[in-house]
Amino acid sequence: MVKGKEGCPGPGVEALAGLLPIHLLLERMATHGILRAGTFSETHPVRSFLTGHMLGKATPHPLSVQLMIRRQRLGTKGPIMDIVKRLPELTERLEPMASIAQPGRRLHDKYWSRVHFDDSLAPLEKEDRSLYLDFVSDMFMSDMWGLCIGVDASVFTNPASKKATQAVAAGVLYSQGVEVMLKQASVGTREAAECQI
């Protein structure tokens, strides 16, 4: 134990090296983490646990600080309570979605007449699913200059083991009905049988 302590630099060495003492570094990191909540968007999920103007446009969660009585607030400790206590110290107004950042200039916003998203869920039965996919492919792949990207990260549930396993996320790029690129990545927990797709 003595040799271990001899190897550790003391506060004097930290001061000579120009470093802040470790307890001040930790305090600074904690403060920055708390004040970072000021950069959350108006509808960020964490805001639903806060109170007053910190709620933004979020609706209060049943366990939010907004709905607590005074006695509960005094007895509750944790990161959310730290945010509620320290966030009013923030003097600047931060805009996570400032107009200068052009948050709306996304692919779909810029090319709204040329990009189409089909977010609907495919039918669960295998026969219906193949008919649905044939319909979608005929609709989008008939365009001579169009590209069709198919993405799937569905969760397969094995009824025998009652365990949901997610095997792969796959993305396929088609041009004029011909496969141009195929990407697969293993995601989540999976079993060997599903990985051999």
pLDDT per position in the chain (197 positions), as tens? 444 455 555 666 555 666 778 888 888 888 888 888 888 888 888 888 888 888 888 888 888 999 999 999 899 888 889 888 888 888 777 776 666 666 565 666 777 777 766 666 666 676 777 787 777 777 766 776 667 666 665 555 555 655 555 555 667 777 776 777 777 666 555 454 444 44
The verdict on 66 and 133 lying in the same domain is no
Calculate ∠ Cα 8-10-11, nearest 5°. Answer: 150
Q: What tokens appear for 86 in the block?
A: 């320290």
Domain boundary among 79, 98, 117: 98
Say what the pLDDT of residue 24 is. Answer: 86
Residue 77 and residue 143 share a domain: no
In a domain, 157, yes or no: yes
Cα 14 from Cα 20, distance rounded (Å): 7
- pLDDT the model gives residue 132: 78
Q: Do residues 84 and 29 share a domain?
A: yes
> Quick one: 137 and 63 in the same domain?
no
Q: What is the pLDDT at residue 109?
A: 72
Residue environment code for 104-136, b if the CB has 16+ CB neighbours within 10 A, otherwise e = eeeeeeeeeeeeeeeeeeeeeeeeeeeebeeee
Note the pLDDT of residue 196: 44
Task: Report the alpha-carbon angle 31-33-34, nearest 5.
Answer: 65
Are 93 and 49 contained in the same domain?
yes
If one counts the domains in the chain, the total is 2
174 sits in which H/E element:
strand 168-175
Clarify whether residues 20 and 93 are in a common domain.
Answer: yes
The enclosing H or E element of 140 equals helix 126-141
Spatial CA neighbour of 87 closest among 119, 39, 123, 127: 39
Task: Report the pLDDT value the prediction gives residue 23, as an integer from 0 to 100.
Answer: 85
- The pLDDT assigned to 44 comes to 84
SS3 88: helix
Sheet holding 178-186, edge to edge: 147-152, 168-175, 178-186
